[in-house]
Structure 1
């Protein structure tokens, strides 16, 4: 495995579990709410709408959450934010809000409340999920956890990263929904970044950046959607290529847009240690830091 000293890049880590904090040597590049939800073990919809569960699941949930699922969920998530923000110290803690596809939440208690999708990968995720009024309360609980950490506990180094933003309209919706929950971009120094994982985000980065304070480019996701493949499909694994010319062209366009806008651009790649040519390409294009796992 290539380390940062060998490659010339500086690596930070994705925080997916509280257990990582005890022996984490690198900086926290990104905190993944989706992964922390798996650690908590309760589906956000179950915490938000416990009365909609079957009686058996409801009893199990109430027993596990001391009779208050919403409070348990918010407190557990806020505690993880606070611990991570303290670990980050005077450096920003970028928190990627929940944006995973519904398939990834199937193991959580109360997952029966989430509608089954024919194609979760391009289904209701990210902003389209938050904007759904029928399940908005789950998003509100996530925001409450952020507010407790950032405002009530003074973790002002917490910044937000918004995943799966398909259009400019969704970009505006995300900012509006956060503001409705008391998380106004710019208020108390709050920065809100775009998780650039769709080709549209890269191609139209100039306009998307009007809504956000910077980009976090998920190279793996960008490759997945640019090349039209499912990373979890074993027979398609050979097609995954973060160094594909189309993918590099998208990254290059987004980088140029952030340079013009004078806004930061972080890189995220799970495969960077196995891609020496990509490492070289990134350094040649002025990238010095990469978030990995």
Structure 2
């Protein structure tokens, strides 16, 4: 059951940790692999390329993972996805693949294998990171965990959400990379959605939806890139405005494109509880549920 705002809007939750499962007050709207990785505590590159670590770090990694970093990583992620899928009780469970900026992973064991970017917010995120052959194995381990959950354990209610897709070419690349790993869109009922975070995703939603089964619009990220905001800069917090007319226009376009294509469009907002006007606007635009934390 979803939580309800005073406006009548319903809320579902973002799952960031398996410990949430025991205390969830609403349905799982989205599983964040980026946050689950923080719980596992091992950088994906370390699991994929342990031999490239310094000896002391490598020994810590081997001790933590019973001398098999790749299997430890895959099993840990798969088990957390399985637990979430079981709690969803047959309802679709949308899983957002790893796509966060490099700064979010710097505390993980083995993080030194990932180059710290000057501007990580628009660096190698999402598809551009997966497509890099130098670190492709990390993406393959993530896919293996998803396959283990969906196929070996029968959790076919797991659906995928692809983050940070800049272009139509990257859309095709994402679908192709998943297919290469045995996660073919449509096979065994697998649905693949676009995480619409960029203004381009909303403005060109009609074309992006040709590659995907639906949209998951991140209102906060959309506002960040549409208005040039920096959510990590304390002195600029006053500028954050999910109710800005430009942001609302982008959301409206995405909603209409999804409706025209007869595909679902979910919305994510971390600030929705503090934005009563946005809640009312969404209800006026036939949005019943928002995913939040």
Q: What TM-score do the two structures reach when normalised by structure 2?
A: 0.99
How many angstroms apart in 1 are the aligned matches of 2:5 and 2:186?
36
How many angstroms apart in 1 are the aligned matches of 2:82 and 2:291?
21
Instruction: Give unmatched runs, 5+ long, in structure 1.
Output: none
How many angstroms apart in 2 are the aligned matches of 1:290 and 1:85?
20
Map of 1:189 onto structure 2: 189
Deviations 1:135-185 (A, max 9, x none): 000000000000000000000100000000000000000000000000000
Maintained 8 Å contact 2:30/2:96? yes
How many angstroms apart in 2 are the aligned matches of 1:123 and 1:24?
33
Map of 2:214 onto structure 1: 214
How many angstroms apart in 2 are the aligned matches of 1:228 and 1:102?
19
How many angstroms apart in 1 are the aligned matches of 2:35 and 2:124?
18
How many angstroms apart in 2 are the aligned matches of 1:211 and 1:250?
19
Q: Which runs of 4+ in 1 moved over 6 A?
A: none
Shift in Å at residue 105 of structure 1? 0.3
Deviations 1:198-244 (A, max 9, x none): 00000000000000000000000000000001101101100000000
SS at match of 1:30: strand
Instruction: Give unmatched runs, 5+ long, in structure 2.
Output: none
Map of 2:58 onto structure 1: 58
How many angstroms apart in 2 are the aligned matches of 1:63 and 1:25?
37
Matched, 1:34 2:58: no
How many angstroms apart in 2 are the aligned matches of 1:125 and 1:58?
26
How many angstroms apart in 2 are the aligned matches of 1:72 and 1:116?
25
Q: How many residues align?
A: 291
Map of 1:149 onto structure 2: 149
Q: How does 1:269-284 map to 2 (within 5 A)?
A: 269-284=269-284
Matched, 1:96 2:96: yes
Maintained 8 Å contact 2:5/2:273? no
How many angstroms apart in 2 are the aligned matches of 1:86 and 1:197?
28
Maintained 8 Å contact 2:215/2:265? yes
Map of 2:46 onto structure 1: 46
Maintained 8 Å contact 2:5/2:11? no
Maintained 8 Å contact 2:125/2:164? yes
Map of 2:248 onto structure 1: 248
Map of 1:110 onto structure 2: 110
Shift in Å at residue 23 of structure 1? 1.1
Map of 1:161 onto structure 2: 161
The alignment's C-alpha RMSD in Å is 0.6
Q: What TM-score do the two structures reach when normalised by structure 1?
A: 0.99
Map of 1:200 onto structure 2: 200
SS at match of 2:161: strand
How many angstroms apart in 1 are the aligned matches of 2:227 and 2:252?
17
How many angstroms apart in 1 are the aligned matches of 2:213 and 2:235?
38
Shift in Å at residue 5 of structure 1? 4.8
Map of 1:266 onto structure 2: 266
How many angstroms apart in 2 are the aligned matches of 1:176 and 1:248?
32
